[in-house]
């Protein structure tokens, strides 16, 4: 197996033991990118010589010499950050996002930036600048979105690990589609300053930058390196990393459910959730069936913020240039504009309702502070596929993705671990979510599940 398919933790161990040099490790990733990226279209700004120059000058740190990638909505000085839009063609930030500065400070080697849908408003990675990103398990299927380029790159060994962002499932759904791990942290745990567009207003609750990797140990390493207060970020929280042991995690009550009673999921998805719950129970975790009652109320408020407020935020940017927008963003606009416009009264009411619904969910989760759920109603879908028949019921695109959206509204952590396979052999992840600031507990449970199931290389990785 290629060294590039080892976990980030294992790659770092080899670097520390001087069994491989930073330049040799960078070269291995460069060769994989040059061979596989033309098939996947995962990286959009990559320069081999720039990577080698960094590797030759590797500094000390917890990520010294580790090759990483960053979603092209997170500012990386000297790299294109176009957010998948021709309206931003050629934009290059003059300074790093805070998380990128922390990656550099930890000694990481930046390979490049990865593809995303236009303005991040889709669960499929496709745009007019670079085209669509393919799933490394099947090139005919989507890698997901909006961090689809990041997920595809990591799954295929083009990158050891990296950063995505998530306002409605955008690090979790691509991880589920591509068979890797990810964490949507509690907002404020990982600094968001330097994300484009900025996570302002309701998006300061919904939106976060999150780590993505092939193992939870790698995700936890990135979270540990990146977390900590950014004093220039008003949403940043003064909360230090505090590891939760496996023994401590077994004492935390965990609820699980196979579907939300509204949108059905595929049978293989149900089985993955059952298998995860059974594995936890065998290990001695305190597991029981439980489904909060306020999930649909949470999704309704999330919809107003993400879809309707999202369209309002972008209106000044796109005014007079709508003919230049990609089909996936046009689709988002048509969905948003089908609803009644939000008046100032309706927006104020939604803001108040947000706190009420979050309070209800927190009360419901008091006796079950962690939850095991599906990530999505389906595994990876074919490019541009928009509805499915599940259990005799038609399930539409955004409804299939609802399983991640609740936890953006709750502003809580949620991780994804690959557990099962579909009939077509596509990966199926499960979601481990928790109450706000329970990130380390979520990671502890996720780490156990990953040890029981976890990453396996997609077929393309051996090419």
In this predicted structure, what is the pLDDT of residue 149? 98
Catalytic residue among 73, 146, 147, 182: 146
Answer for the pair 412, 362: CB distance below 8 angstroms, yes or no: no
Distance CA(48)–CA(109), nearest Å, equals 12
- pLDDT at position 463 is 83
Q: In 187-244, at which residue ranges do the beta strands (DSSP E only) sit? A: 208-213
Specify whether 146 is catalytic: yes
- Give phi and psi for 234, each to the nearest 5: -65, -20
Q: Quickly count: other Cβ atoms within 10 Å of residue 421's Cβ.
A: 17
The answer to whether residue 435 is catalytic is: no
HEC string for 142-197: ECCCCCHHHHHHHHCCCCCEEEEEECCCCCHHHHHHHCCEEEECCECCECCCCECC
pLDDT at 417 (0 to 100)? 98
How many angstroms separate the CA atoms of 141 and 126, rounded?
Answer: 12
The number of angstroms, rounded, from the C-alpha of 402 to the middle of its chain's C-alpha atoms is 15
Active site includes 71? Answer: yes
Cα–Cα distance between 7 and 102 in angstroms, integer? 20
This prediction has a pTM of 0.98
pLDDT of residue 345: 96
d(CA 16, CA 22): 10
Instruction: Return the closest-CA partner of residue 256 out of 369, 176, 177.
Output: 369
- The ranges of the chain with pLDDT < 50 are none
> How confident is the model at residue 436, as a pLDDT?
98
Helix (H) / strand (E) containing 233: none
E-strand stretches of 14-66: 43-46
pLDDT computed for residue 1 by the predictor: 81
Which of 71, 184, 304, 435 is the catalytic position? 71
Assess whether the previous peptide bond of 146 is cis (omega < 30° from 0): yes
* Residue partners of 42: CB distance under 8 A and separation at least 6: 114, 115, 133, 143, 148, 149, 150, 152, 153, 156, 158
Catalytic residue among 72, 85, 170, 220: 170
Residue 199's pLDDT is what?
A: 94
pLDDT in tens, 172-226: 999 999 999 999 999 999 999 999 999 999 999 999 999 999 999 999 999 999 9
Task: State how far the alpha carbon of 83 is from the alpha carbons of 121, 126, 249, in Å.
Answer: 10, 11, 38
CB 253 within 8 A of CB 286: yes
């Amino acid at each position: 197996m290629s060294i590039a398919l080892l976990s980030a933790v294992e790659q770092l161990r080899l670097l520390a033991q001087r069994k491989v040099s930073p330049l040799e490790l960078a070269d291995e990733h460069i060769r994989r990118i040059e061979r596989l990226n033309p098939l996947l279209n995962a990286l959009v700004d990559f320069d081999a010589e720039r990577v080698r120059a960094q590797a030759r000058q590797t500094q000390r740190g917890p990520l010294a010499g580790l090759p990483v990638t960053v979603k092209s909505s997170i500012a990386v000085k000297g790299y294109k950050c176009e957010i998948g839009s021709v309206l931003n063609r050629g934009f290059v930030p003059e300074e790093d996002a805070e998380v990128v500065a922390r990656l550099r400070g930890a000694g990481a080697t930046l390979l490049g930036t990865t593809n995303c849908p236009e303005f991040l408003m889709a669960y499929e990675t496709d745009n007019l600048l670079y085209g669509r990103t393919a799933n490394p398990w099947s090139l005919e299927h989507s890698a997901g979105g909006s961090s689809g380029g990041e997920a595809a790159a990591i799954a295929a060994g083009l990158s050891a690990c990296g950063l995505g962002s998530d306002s409605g499932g955008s690090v979790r759904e691509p991880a589920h589609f591509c068979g890797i791990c990810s964490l949507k942290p509690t907002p404020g745990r990982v600094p968001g300053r330097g994300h484009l567009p900025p996570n302002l207003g309701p998006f300061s609750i919904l939106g976060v930058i999150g780590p993505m990797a092939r193992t939870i140990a790698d995700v936890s390493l990135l979270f540990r390196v990146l977390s900590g207060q950014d004093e220039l970020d008003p949403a940043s929280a003064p909360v230090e990393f505090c590891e939760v042991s496996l023994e401590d995690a077994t004492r935390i009550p965990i609820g699980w459910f196979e579907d939300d009673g509204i949108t059905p999921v595929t049978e293989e998805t149900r089985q993955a959730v059952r298998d995860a719950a059974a594995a936890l129970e065998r290990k001695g975790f305190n597991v029981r069936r439980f489904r909060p009652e306020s999930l649909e109320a949470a999704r309704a408020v999330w919809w107003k913020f993400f879809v309707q407020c999202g369209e309002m935020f972008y209106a000044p940017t796109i005014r007079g240039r709508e003919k230049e927008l990609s089909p996936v963003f046009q689709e988002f606009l048509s969905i948003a504009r089908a609803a009644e416009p939000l008046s100032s009264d309706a927006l104020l009411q939604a803001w108040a309702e947000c706190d009420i619904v979050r309070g209800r969910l927190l009360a419901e989760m008091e006796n079950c502070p962690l939850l095991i759920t599906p990530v999505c109603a389906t595994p990876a879908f074919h490019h541009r596929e928009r509805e499915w028949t599940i259990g005799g019921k038609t399930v539409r695109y955004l409804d299939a993705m609802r399983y991640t959206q609740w936890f953006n509204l709750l502003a809580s952590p949620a991780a994804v671990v690959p557990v099962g396979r579909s009939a077509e052999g596509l990966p199926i992840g499960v979601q481990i979510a928790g109450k706000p600031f329970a990130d380390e507990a979520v990671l502890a449970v996720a780490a156990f599940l990953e040890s029981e199931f976890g990453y396996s290389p997609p077929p393309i990785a051996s090419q």
